[in-house]
Structure 1
Amino acid sequence: MPRQADHELRRRQIARAVWRLATRGGLEDVTLRQVAAEAGVSARLLQYYFGTRDRLLLGALEILNSDAEQRARERLAALGEAPDRRALVRGVLLELLPLDEERRNRHLVYAAYFIPFATDPALAAAARDAPRALEALVADLLSQGRKLGQVLPGVDIEAESALLVAGATGLQTSVLLGQQSPERAVELIDHRLGGVFTPVAG
């Protein structure tokens, strides 16, 4: 067990080095040697844990996603034992916004992955499924909300889930660039949810 734990710590140490390089200057020209120097490990050790550059970038992203999912679960759990579906959908969408230092840093790293994912066929496939997974989660929550009478009649669940995720993703970029404040981004999310869910009683 300690040996496996040491492996995980080393992988995370290297992943954090990728994240730091990503936020400082992007990932297009980052090399294994640069990551090794940033992580304070040998290039040989880095290759032992991740192999190729593509596997390193994907591995670092997987660790980042795993951390993000864990924090999202914790924040959603903090909503209480039986939150309504609007609160859950809102919680999912707010994870896409840079509302604090942790989420801001994470989304800066995601932004650095954009060009490699858009131009490298070997990496592009890894990027395609993430929005669909989020859309499926939001669609499922909207379907549950409809059964509970919490979603307005006539809402197209598939279209709305896609628009909600795309809208939150667009707001993420606007906040990072300073075009929208975090508070305004949350207001816009709440405004859109008001057109999807029935008013909260009381």
Structure 2
Amino acid sequence: MPKRVDHEERRRHIAGALLRIAEERGLQHASMREVATAAGVSLRLVQYYFHTKDELLLGALGYLAEELGERVRARLLALGGPPPPREFVAETLLAVLPLDADGVRLARTWAAFYSLVLAEPELTRHGATHPDRLEHLLATQLRAAGRPEPELAAAALLALTNGLTSSVLGGQRDGDAAVAVLRHHLDLVFGRE
């Protein structure tokens, strides 16, 4: 009897190999052949699931966004109930910051995608909309809190968090300092607790 193949599991396995390459050394020169080797599968199998390198990149980015979404959900669930908007925004942005080993891994991998988009801006035209969805989620919470110009405030908070992430990864500040800067800015947006 032939073995049943879980195609979604296989896609995730191949995309996971690309994500590991992204974290370890970036994506500028990563090839589909290298991904096949890292995944322990044939190049032909990689091409079966992802017809082009762009398809592979965007597929892996989708899985990375899912992983970040799970990280955010876990932080929010740990609060024990529906959090008020300020806590929702704070916990969401804290999930993005590289404050633990898993956060560093995720941040380094996202940074590899950002670097690739700088070199190949056409990738953004193919549907890399995950940051936009996160920004919209933040704006929804800011609107619920009655904050003025929620879209601009959400964009600023996400840009601040991305900058803090870079400063932690680059060694400019540690996680505690990044959290202090983020909390200070949340005080400016929401008022002091």
Q: Tell me the TM-score normalised to structure 2 length.
A: 0.90
Q: Which residue of 1 aligns with 2:50?
A: 50
Q: Which residue of 2 aligns with 1:40?
A: 40
Shift of 1:84: 1.6
Tell me if 1:173 matches 2:166. Answer: yes
Tell me if 1:195 matches 2:191. Answer: no
Tell me if 1:182 matches 2:152. Answer: no
Alignment of 1:1-202 (within 5 A): 3=4, 6-126=6-126, 129-146=129-146, 151=147, 155-200=148-193
Shift of 1:97: 0.6
Shift of 1:126: 4.8
* Distance (Å, rounded) in 2 between the aligned partners of 1:17 and 1:3: 22
Q: Tell me the TM-score normalised to structure 1 length.
A: 0.86
Shift of 1:32: 0.9
* Distance (Å, rounded) in 2 between the aligned partners of 1:130 and 1:118: 16
Letter in 2 for 1:94: L
Unaligned runs of 5+ in 2: none
Residues 54, 107 of structure 1: CA spacing in aligned structure 2 closer, same or farther, 3 A cutoff? same
* Distance (Å, rounded) in 1 between the aligned partners of 2:19 and 2:95: 18
* SS at 2:189 equivalent: coil
Farther-moved stretch of structure 1 (48-57 vs 76-85): 76-85
* Distance (Å, rounded) in 1 between the aligned partners of 2:156 and 2:69: 21
Letter in 1 for 2:131: P
Shift of 1:89: 0.6
* Distance (Å, rounded) in 2 between the aligned partners of 1:59 and 1:129: 12
Unaligned runs of 5+ in 1: none
On the 8 A contact 2:58/2:128 being kept in 1, the answer is no
Report the identity percentage: 41
Number of equivalent positions: 191
On the 8 A contact 2:17/2:38 being kept in 1, the answer is yes
On the 8 A contact 1:54/1:122 being kept in 2, the answer is no
Structure 1 runs of 4+ with >4 Å offset: none
On the 8 A contact 1:117/1:127 being kept in 2, the answer is no
Farther-moved stretch of structure 1 (65-74 vs 180-189): 65-74
Residues 128, 16 of structure 1: CA spacing in aligned structure 2 closer, same or farther, 3 A cutoff? closer
* Distance (Å, rounded) in 1 between the aligned partners of 2:127 and 2:174: 27
On the 8 A contact 2:88/2:141 being kept in 1, the answer is yes
